[in-house]
Amino acid sequence: MAPSNDAFLAACRGRSPSRRPIWIMRQAGRYLPEYRAVRAKTSFETLCRTPALAAEVTVQPIERFDLDAAILFSDILSIADAFGIEVRFDPGPKIERPLRTAADVAILPPADVAACAYVFEAVRACVERIGGRVPLIGFAGAPWTVASYLVEGAGTRTFRHAKVLLWSEPDAFDHLLHVLAEATAAYLEAQVRAGADAVQVFESWGGALRPDLYRARAWPHLRRVLVRALATGVPVIAFVRGGEAVLRAIADDLPEGDLVVGIDHDVAMSAAVSIVGRDRVVQGNLDPMALFAPRAVLEAEAQAVLDGACGARGHIFNLGHGISKDTDPEQVAALVDFVHRA
């Protein structure tokens, strides 16, 4: 059943929507008091693994704001379950046995995405809970981004262990990204079968690698995921955070089809459109910190994004990264209203 609000899907496919669609990365999360009320009663792991709870928090922002899409509440490291890798959150992700060597990578078992069945059940629960009001976006982390956590064992600023594996054990590094790409593609395909109307792939740490290194060693694996996801027939959003240099490095090798290019806030939207081409649909890219600015400044910053995107084939308004947990929900409501009126 097609959602009654099809502005997001129309924009993804380069058609003219009834209004400029907007959704917000991490829109279901800690800045919402209703989310905090649910989270106070359960752990993050339980929230992700309980389809009814995941669906409840997925729809919270849809019920509060006039957003044009919902995004599944989950985590990019849920895919680790397909390999039997235990991840705990304390509060950030922690992997007890990081994949630091070629031997560690070699003993990875074959991926079994059925171990992520709770994610697919959550997609079905979200679809039922949304009731056809707006499209649902599924998602996954890109191979390099997921690998960086699995190798480092936690979040990092330096990516030392991941880079050492890339340089000292190139075959093991490529094998790790290959198996992650295959598992991620199957994971996204299963989300689409469960009812996701579109999917986004998050390359949150694309900028951690030098642009030429990213293009040569990480991008081919993400590109394979995107091609497989596009073959499902739903729109696919590729969000590669890394600024203008990384965007330029991959712009001439983007897959064809209903691929939306997510733009981070380190790139002027007008420059991004010039880099990826006017025949592309773009998404983004308001600096999340603009939501802390006075209302007039917030609107001016949002208008600059809208103006910058005017030359693209289509545009979906979003932030240039995830919303801050300290954001005032009233600012979000004002932003959504402004984008729809602009």
Whether 31 sits among the annotated catalytic residues: the reply is: no
Pick the catalytic residue: 26, 129, 228, 280? 26
β-pair type (314-319, 93-95): unpaired
For 136, phi then psi, to 5°, come to -110, 130
Residue 258 known to be catalytic: no
- Active site annotation includes 75: yes
Residue located via tokens 């191979």: 143
Whether 39 is catalytic is yes
Determine the Cα–Cα distance for residues 156 and 134; give it in Å rounded to an integer: 35
Task: For residue 35, indicate whether it is catalytic.
Answer: no
Q: Write down the catalytic residue from 39, 64, 215, 248.
A: 39
User: Which is catalytic among the residues 20, 49, 129, 149?
Assistant: 149
Q: Which of 6, 68, 75, 81 is catalytic?
A: 75
**Residue from 13, 30, 124, 210 carrying the catalytic annotation:** 30
Q: Rounded to whole angstroms, what are the CA distances from 277 to 186, 257, 281, 311, 312?
A: 29, 14, 9, 9, 7
User: Hey, which residues are catalytic here?
Assistant: 26, 30, 39, 75, 149
